[in-house]
Structure 1
Amino acid sequence: MTAEAQATIAVIGAGAMGRGIVQLFAQSGHRVKFYDNSEAAVAAAHAFVADMFDSKVDKGRISREEADKAKSQLVPCTQLVDIADCDIVVEAVLEDLEIKRGLFAELETVVSSAAIIASNTSSLLIADIAAGCAHPERIAGLHFFNPVPVMRVTEIISSVRTADITVEKLKACIDKTGHRAVLVQDQPGFLINHAGRGLYTEGLRILEEQAASHDQVDLLMREAAGFRMGPFELLDLTGLDVSSKVMQSIYDQFQQEPRFRPSSIIPPRVAAGLFGRKTGEGWYQYQEGKKLDLANANEPPPAMSQNCRVWIDPAADQHAELSTLSQQAGAQIVVSPDDASLLLIQPWGIDVSQACADLNLDASRCVAVDPLPSLEMRRTLMLSPITRTQSRDDAAAILGADNAPYTVINDSPGFVVQRMLATIVNIGTNIAQRGIASVDDIDDAVRIGLGYPAGPLALGDRLGPHRVMQVLEGLQRVTGDPRYRPSHWLRRRAQLGENLITREAARH
């Protein structure tokens, strides 16, 4: 088979992933054979995929002729030997190393020596699966995401012994489907699951510290950072039972790298059966798969005290905007913190307590306002452990007087959005540093596969590499946690005043 030729493809495993892979290749014009140990599963998969094509006709997405042609490409198989003539075999069976090794060894005796054998594994190293194969050069990973026809990105994973021609043929095949093929080295979590550790683990860290509630974190990531879902909504969608295993696996495979440290608050929830949507309750409660509405998160601001006197840190990024809001709310601006009843600051990467210590300010009168993303979106107010109730209420009255939404959180180095974005960017740049994938593939894969508003490197450029460094260094300073140490790839570009995405971005 040449890279341009039409391939005959076999899919082993007729579960949800296998069915999706069959549908994707059949609608792309490939002849697709599919096999499962259970003949009933094969029959069910055949009916399911055929129904999907009929449904597309009913919805006006494809013509009846296109549907019939795609269905004609489906070849259910009742014996493994029936796939002997296939050019590419995609394994989509249970995520068990021994089962996959045994299957791959059997497949080598069935298909030709020129056939490619690929695994849809999401967590096992390709080199481990191929360890017992006679021809590991033709073994690769072909990682799809559920639902396969909708999630338009596919990881092509090369082990240390995968041949270049194997990757080229797989890429040509995926390109024909319309999916974005990203080339990835055989490392734990590959690319997308690896990059996704930042959102999950940092959200859990914030919750562990009681800096904000899970629903506040999700709200801020949606309305301030522009993400489709926050970490806890996403955990409920993927299932805590599944995600907890992936988190632990990646942490262990990376030799307990602090950046990927799992959270101790997950196992008790898994033990209690709070898996998320599929069990009706996770971080949220669900009815018929839909999240039950929470209480109104946009309550009206409190009344401001009489004779409120506000001092705004001259170094605040949004000093002019905060001054205008304060005056419009009826507060008096003062030039000395000693004369103020409310102190407003805008730190990067540190918490209110550290900022007050650095600036010699009275923490009981101090409230921090996150400069991210802008005061036109949801605003975050952060309190010290001893911020007075009246100072908190006055800050809320000022920041909410123009009816803009705001959220009040406890002391947290880097607020919520700063530390979440900095962690995501840092992990993305470390993937680039390790050469696991190219800059373009990293950003496209994360944007498509995880639904982020942009890839991690583009997010870093929007914020500014120097700002990302400032947040990470502040986090490391306050917490002492090596989790926040900046990657070399990020640090070097920040020091040189370079963007993360440049013409020379692939160079270390």
Structure 2
Amino acid sequence: MSTTLHLVAVIGGGTMGSGIAEVAAGAGHQVLLYDIAADALTRAVDGIRQRLASRVARGRLTAEQAEALLARIVPTTELAALAPAQLVIEAASERPEVKKALFSQLAEICSPSALLTSNTSSISITAIAADVKHPERVAGLHFFNPAPVMKLVEVVSGLATSPEVVEQLCRCVTAWGKQPVRCRSTPGFIVNRVARPFYAEAWRALEEQVAPAQVIDAALRDGGGFPMGPLALTDLIGQDVNFAVTCSVFNAFWQDRRFLPSLLQQELALAGRLGKKSGQGVYRWPLDAQTELTLSAVPNPAGALKIRRKSDAVTELDELLLMETEGQTAEALSAQYGRPVVVYDHSAGRRWCWRARSLIRSRPPIKRCTIFSSRAKKYCRLPTIRGCWCGARWRCW
């Protein structure tokens, strides 16, 4: 199967649908943007217009180019209008029954040679294609939010997907300036399968009141070298969407506790606190300047301390033991060694997280941590929990 992909149809006027439409139009395609609700299409086009205006203001695009790109996007509330499309990208509600019904309709409306793809984050492509005529043309084309910015696209094969279709989609994605990654239709594909425990650990820490959301995000963001913390990222994605994907992956893996959904996230979704798109989620949006979590450096930080390196993982600071985490609490290690203990997670990132036995009162925390500032790291204190971040704190449920 091979067809020239001139006309692209995008289904869904939400954040992902409008972003994908912008990407396709930016690559020179004529784009049909479909949504059942006219007001959703109005918001989608307005959002694209604002993003293009921002790019023009920054000199990334000329006004003429922006105008031409916007003119290539034609909104419609008629599904039948998608009939001439050679490539359809569905970005509708993340519900299996909605997608299956939609693809069955598309198979009747569009040409047998049209490629039918879904932007689903976790739903089985094999299941979506089950009732579609010519299921070999059905595949996953999973973009990431925000679609105009993020380079990665997962090209997902269902059981019946033709290798030729996958190859054609990879060429198309590459021509759009994106990086295609091929994968099979397994729960969560690649990225969401890996990311679920990352989100889950942040939610569990928030539920257990390990630290405020800003501290949890700072620890996991800077400790792991990520652009955003997991809680802020769920706000950006949308708590409803992120929670639905977590539930989908959890159920697809037969309730494996590594993917256990968060009751707190469910509460936010039920309350309509969906994050950026509703103005409030874990944080209030737009985000205010976050409190700086780095402790101030002290003059001559190590001058008053007697420092002795006992091993790669253990340093003596006077009577204090500074130890790299191996999963035990500072309380347990202090009892084991009979002296005050501070445990830290070095990680490879920009921030160290540390925790101290709660009974330590002999030295103020700022003095015990001056060795961190001398190594030009950001750092923050956590309660005495098992593990730290970003390494040993990960748990298998």
TM range (shorter): 0.7 to 0.9
8 A Cα contact 1:14 1:42, kept in partner: yes
Aligned to 1:167: 166
Partner Cα distance (1:234, 1:140) in 2:
26
1:86-485 correspondence to structure 2 within 5 Å? 86-271=85-270, 274-286=273-285, 289-291=286-288, 293-294=290-291, 297-298=294-295, 314-317=310-313, 319=315, 326=317, 333=318, 340=319, 342-356=320-334, 360-362=336-338, 365-373=340-348, 378-385=351-358, 387-391=359-363, 393=365, 396=368, 398-399=370-371, 402=374, 405-419=378-392, 423=394, 482-483=396-397
Local SS of the residue matching 1:124: coil
Letter in 1 for 2:118: S
Separation in 1, partners of 2:207, 2:42: 47
Bigger radius of gyration among the two? 1
1:417 aligned counterpart, secondary structure: coil
Letter in 2 for 1:388: I
Partner SS, residue 189 of structure 1: coil
Question: Within 2, Cα distance between the matches of 1:269 and 1:52?
Answer: 28
Partner amino acid, structure 1, of 2:310: P
Give secondary structure in 2 for the equivalent of 1:85. coil
Check the 8 A contact 1:399/1:406 in 2, yes or no: no
The alpha-carbon distance between structure 1 residues 148 and 138, as it changes in their structure 2 partners (threshold 3 A), is same
| Partner SS, residue 291 of structure 1 | coil
Q: Find the residue that maps to 1:390 and give its secondary structure.
A: coil
Letter in 2 for 1:262: P
2:140 alignment partner, SS class: strand
- Contact 1:210–1:410 under 8 Å retained in 2: no
Task: Give the 3-state SS of the residue equivalent to 2:388 in structure 1.
Answer: coil
Between structures 1 and 2, the one with greater helix share: 1
User: What is the TM-score with the length of structure 1 in the denominator?
Assistant: 0.66
Q: Post-superposition shift, 1:65? A: 5.3
Q: Please tell me whether the aligned partners of residues 383 and 392 of structure 1 are also in contact (alpha carbons under 8 angstroms).
A: no
Give 1:215 shift: 2.7
Q: Retained in 2: the 8 A contact 1:138–1:166? A: yes
Query: For the structure 1 residues 203 and 140, does the alpha-carbon distance in structure 2 shift closer, same or farther, using more than 3 Å as the test?
Result: same
Deviations 1:301-347 (A, max 9, x none): 79x9xxx986867234364xxx6xx5xxxxxx5xxxxxx4x333334
The change in CA–CA distance for 1:144 and 1:355 in structure 2 (over 3 A counts) is same
- Aligned partners of 1:348 and 1:418 also within 8 Å: no
Q: Could you tell me which runs of 5 or more consecutive residues in structure 1 were left unpaired when the two chains were aligned.
A: 327-332, 334-339, 424-480, 484-508
Deviations 1:241-289 (A, max 9, x none): 4323322322121112222223344344555555444455444444xx1
Q: Which amino acid aligns with 1:290?
A: L
How far 1:164 moved relative to its partner? 0.9
For 2:283 and 2:44, how far apart are their aligned partners in 1? Answer: 32
Cα pair distance change 1:350/1:105, threshold 3 Å: same
Distance 1:252 1:230 in 2: 25
> Where in structure 2 are there 5+ consecutive unaligned residues?
none
Q: Moved runs in structure 1, 4+ residues, more than 6 A?
A: 308-311
Identity over aligned residues, as a percent?
32
- Paired amino acid for 2:357: S
Structure-1 separation of matches of 2:233 and 2:47: 27
Shift of 1:177: 0.6
For 2:136 and 2:158, locate their aligned partners in 1 and report how far apart those are by CA, in whole Å: 8
Q: 1:282/1:299 Cα in 2 relative to 1: closer, same or farther (>3 Å)?
A: farther
* Residue in structure 2 matched with residue 31 of structure 1 by the alignment: 30
Work out the number of aligned pairs and report it: 394
Give the conservation status (yes or no) of the 8 Å contact 1:301–1:400. Answer: no
TM-score normalised by L of structure 2: 0.83
